[in-house]
Amino acid sequence: MTVGIIGSGSMGSGIAQVAATADWKVLVYDLSKEAIENSQKKLIKILARLVEKGRISKEKSLNIQNNISYINDFEEFAPCNLIIEAIIENTEIKKKVFKKVEPLVSDDCIIASNTSSLSITSLAASLETPERFIGIHFFNPAPLMKLVEIIPAVQTKSQITEKAKSIIDAWGKLTVLAKDTPGFIVNKVARPFYSEALRIYEESIANIPTIDWAITHIGGFRMGPFTLMDFIGHDVNYIVTETVFKAFYYDGRYKPSFTQKRLVEAGFNGRKSGRGFYDYSANATAPEPHKDETKGQKIVDRIVAMLINEAADTLQYHIASKEDIDLAMTKGVNYPKGLLKWADEIGIEECVLRMDALFEEYHEERYRCSPLLRKMAKQDSTFFE
Ligand SMILES: NC(=O)c1ccc[n+]([C@@H]2O[C@H](COP(=O)([O-])OP(=O)(O)OC[C@H]3O[C@@H](n4cnc5c(N)ncnc54)[C@H](O)[C@@H]3O)[C@@H](O)[C@H]2O)c1
């Protein structure tokens, strides 16, 4: 079986490694020779480290390398059973690429995009045969992150969805099915993790290290929101928020933050720029949090309530199943618990009370409680047994 990967940046390179490890033949194309060279060098380095750590044998490493070929011409994609596009996040450029590749591959070749934020349906519409098009959304770094979101377009045939899902499952990934809506599951449900933390900071309820401390030490998350935003890069994280906000017709729940926008404008994009919310220069000292447990618990309760509310909304609009929503957040962004399971533990009524208290304080749309949570509280029901 052969997969063609268009784009050999961070995502394309990672997906190529995943497919080659599963013993697929991989053909990689990139406009930039430099990107191809970097991708090759990076792969050799990663595989050498895996051999060194005893994770794979030397033979397997050679096998993975032999499975990947770098091509100079789109025509070489002809034998592919699957094409995954991972180029620049731009609808028009992606559509041009699909128009170019579609006539070169066989009729039963699935064509997919790894886009994080664009409409799969709109991309599918650029094809002569949109029914074979689907979203296959890997997370970064693709070889390490278990989760893959499978997003059928409105036009996608159900057999294509099943086939795409079974291929990615066979590559050792955990797949979840998401409706083609902005941010799919993870990038939608996770928005309040960043935006509510930013809001708490902007209102001077707590400073940055204190919010990060509360979320990790009390909330049990692996990284605090500010550390995570610095890690992802503000250029990337801010654009996702802005894209989701616009795509949801300017719903106040996804409103971006000026604080983060200013960081992007200043070029303080986080860890990779040496400065974001934190200073990453060699002689910088990490700021100390105020370890006030009561305040910390309030911060956690507020952010978790907003996350649960977003997860409930995602279920109410049938964007994904309750099982897939919880799996997506634990495997895609390493949350300590599935949010709907967490809601059951906290108590649905308590979740409603927390949302209503925020709404009472601010009278903003952003804090409206999910009607599903309200209905469940009245019925005294839970998401899971
Ligand atoms: N980086 C992430 O965290 C992440 C996670 C999930 C999905 N995505 C999505 O994956 C896609 C790629 O993201 P990335 O982070 O790997 O980007 P990247 O900038 O690292 O790589 C993109 C590559 O595409 C190449 N390219 C651009 N236009 C091309 C064209 N017309 N034909 C062939 N190659 C072309 C570039 O030379 C570059 O090497 C985007 O759609 C992005 O939204 C990114």
pLDDT one-digit tens code per residue, 249-270? 999 999 999 999 999 999 999 9
Task: State the closest ligand 1 atom to the C-alpha of 89, by its place in the atom list counted from 1.
Answer: 41
Predicted local confidence at residue 117, as pLDDT: 86
Handedness of CA 24, 330, 318, 193 (dihedral sign): negative
Q: Which residue's CA is the nearest one to ligand 1's atom 18?
A: 9
Domain boundaries, the chain: 2-177, 185-385
pLDDT, mean over the chain: 97
Long-range CB pairs of 60-69 (<8 Å, 24+ gap) are: 60/21, 63/23, 64/17, 64/20, 64/21, 65/20, 67/19, 67/20, 67/23, 67/24, 67/25, 67/26, 68/16, 68/17, 68/20, 68/26, 68/28, 68/43, 69/25, 69/26, 69/27, 69/28
Reported confidence tier of residue 72, pLDDT bands at 50, 70, 90: very high
Catalytic entry in 113, 187, 195, 309: 187
Predicted local confidence at residue 154, as pLDDT: 98
Reported confidence tier of residue 342, pLDDT bands at 50, 70, 90: very high
**Least confidently predicted of 149-158, 229-238, 339-348:** 229-238
- CB of 86 closer than 6 angstroms to any ligand 1 atom: yes
Q: Which CATH number applies to 2-177?
A: 3.40.50.720
3-state secondary structure of 381: coil
Q: Is the peptide bond before 130 cis (omega within 30 degrees of 0)?
A: no
What mean pLDDT comes out for the span 34-52?
A: 97
185-385: CATH topology: N-(1-d-carboxylethyl)-l-norvaline Dehydrogenase; domain 2 (1.10.1040)
- CB of 279 closer than 6 angstroms to any ligand 1 atom: no
Predicted local confidence at residue 206, as pLDDT: 97
Q: What six digits make up the tokens of 374?
A: 């309200």
33 has pLDDT over 90: yes
Task: State the closest ligand 1 atom to the C-alpha of 12, by its place in the atom list counted from 1.
Answer: 16
- CB of 7 closer than 6 angstroms to any ligand 1 atom: yes
Predicted local confidence at residue 385, as pLDDT: 83
Model confidence over 3-19: pLDDT tens digits?
999 999 999 999 999 99
With a pLDDT cut of 90, the percent of the chain lying above it is 97
Model confidence over 161-217: pLDDT tens digits?
999 999 999 999 999 999 999 999 999 999 999 999 999 999 999 999 999 999 999
